[in-house]
């Protein structure tokens, strides 16, 4: 993948997620001269990258800043309304504005921008910080195929990208992949705790559980088989795994039902926060 579009990129907000994107873009060869960071207190990883690559950073965007190809908004949702007036002033008719803020709707950006502006709402997840994220994204009706390509190229710098056809599905994306890493971390914690219950010391149980979760995740990624097949492959009838799965897959009270309940709760909360 190469970042081959024309024009500049403004990154508004260079905290954890903004810095991860920035690192991914630079790794994939985006010319640092085409990036402007807008951030009042540049620090941490983004500051290091900006210094190392000589990237221009400004506390505020001035109206005379040339219209960029894309403005990536990576500030906290509560800061969004504060920064949009300045962003709107530098956006040109060809600019696409892409936000990664949780819960902020397309309409909430559109109302700050001229009629007909291209807007993309994206929801990455924390493995983006190691280039292994997945982002669900939706574009408004004014976004051209080329603008979608630009956004996808920028997001692919930190992992996979899935477009959903309808903004209503972003809460489902958030509930599955946005919040999903926390469910997997909980699984690692629960497995370690269970190891202690089975008699292992805490450190050994943790080591076994962490390596199992990350190794199984990597196997799932590298294998051509789906998760159900990989599970069946390690389950011999009457064996130890089967004994555990009979508990985890108890009819009506198993992990699948619990996960469904959890994901629907996250989706519901996402809808409430988006109102
Ligand atoms: N982290 C995730 O896993 C994740 C996943 C999906 C979506 N997101 C979304 O990504 C966005 C950023 O999250 P994050 O975790 O990267 O948060 P973060 O680390 O707090 O980054 C936000 C950055 O914006 C800066 N900022 C504050 N006011 C600003 C202004 N007026 N103009 C420009 N920059 C300003 C903050 O600076 P100060 O620290 O000085 O205030 C901070 O560096 C959020 O909207 C979040 O919903 C995050």
Could you give the CA distance from residue 62 to residue 68 in angstroms, rounded to a whole number? 13
DSSP state of 33: G
| pTM of the predicted model as reported, rounded to 2 decimal places | 0.92
pLDDT for position 265: 97
Question: pLDDT tens digits, residue range 53-80?
Answer: 999 999 988 877 789 999 999 999 889 8
* 12 Cβ below 6 A of ligand 1: yes
Give yes or no for residue 100 CB within 6 A of ligand 1. yes
Percent of the chain whose predicted confidence (pLDDT) is above 90: 87
Average pLDDT score over residue span 247-262: 96
- How large is the average pLDDT for residues 249-267? 96
The answer to whether the beta carbons of residues 152 and 161 sit under 8 Å apart is: yes
Three-state SS for 138? strand
- Overall residue count recorded for the chain in this entry: 275
Question: Does residue 1 register a pLDDT over 70?
Answer: no
- The mean of the pLDDT values for the chain is 94
For residue 23, pLDDT over 90 is answered with yes
Question: Contact 187/248 with Cβ under 8 angstroms?
Answer: no
The token pair that represents 28 in the structure block: 């994939």
C-alpha closest to that of 109 among 146, 154, 72: 72
Would you state the pLDDT for residue 247?
97
Q: Is 18 near ligand 1, meaning CB less than 6 Å away? A: yes
Q: Are 55 and 19 in contact (CB under 8 A)?
A: no
**Between 141 and 64, the higher pLDDT residue:** 141
Q: Tokens in use for 150? A: 């630009």
DSSP letters, 156-185, are: HTTEEEEE-SSGGGHHHHIIIIISHHHHHH
Task: Tell me: pLDDT of 212 over 70.
Answer: yes
- Helices (runs of H) and strands (runs of E) counted in the chain: 11, 8
- 260 backbone dihedrals φ, ψ, rounded to 5°: -60, -45
| Half-sphere exposure in the Cβ direction for 232 (13 Å, CA) | 5
DSSP 15: S
Q: Which domains does the chain have, with CATH numbers?
A: 9-170 (3.40.50.720), 180-274 (1.10.3730.10)
User: Average pLDDT, stretch 12-36?
Assistant: 95
Best of 37, 76, 170 for a ligand 1 pocket test (most atoms within 8 Å of beta carbon) = 76
Cβ–ligand 1 contact at 129 (below 6 Å): no
- Rg (alpha carbons) of the chain, rounded to whole number: 21
């Amino acid at each position: 993948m190469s970042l081959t579009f024309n024009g500049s990129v403004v990154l508004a907000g260079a905290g954890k997620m903004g810095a991860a994107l920035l690192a991914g873009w630079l790794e994939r060869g985006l010319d640092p001269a085409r990036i402007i960071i807008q951030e009042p207190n540049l620090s941490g990883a983004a500051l290091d990258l900006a210094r190392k690559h000589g990237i221009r950073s400004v506390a505020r965007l001035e109206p005379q800043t040339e219209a960029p190809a894309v403005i990536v908004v990576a500030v906290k949702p509560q800061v969004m309304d504060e920064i949009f007036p300045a962003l709107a002033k530098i956006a040109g008719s060809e600019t696409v504005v892409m936000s990664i803020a949780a819960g902020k709707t397309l309409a909430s950006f559109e109302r700050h921008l001229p009629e007909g502006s291209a807007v993309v709402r994206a929801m990455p997840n924390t493995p983006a910080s190691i280039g292994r994220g997945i982002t669900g994204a939706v574009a408004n009706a004014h976004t051209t195929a080329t603008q979608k390509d630009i956004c996808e190229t920028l997001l692919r710098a930190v992992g996979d990208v899935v477009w959903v056809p309808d903004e209503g599905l972003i809460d489902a994306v958030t509930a599955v992949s946005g919040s999903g890493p926390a469910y997997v971390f909980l699984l690692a914690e629960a497995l370690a705790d269970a190891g202690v219950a089975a008699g292992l010391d805490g450190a050994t149980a943790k080591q076994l559980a962490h390596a199992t979760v990350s190794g199984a995740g990597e196997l799932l990624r590298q294998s051509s088989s789906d998760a159900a097949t990989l599970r069946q492959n390690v389950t011999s009838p009457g064996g130890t795994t089967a004994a555990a799965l009979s508990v985890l897959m108890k009819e009506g009270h198993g992990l699948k039902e619990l996960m469904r309940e959890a994901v629907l709760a996250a989706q519901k909360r996402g809808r409430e926060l988006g109102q």
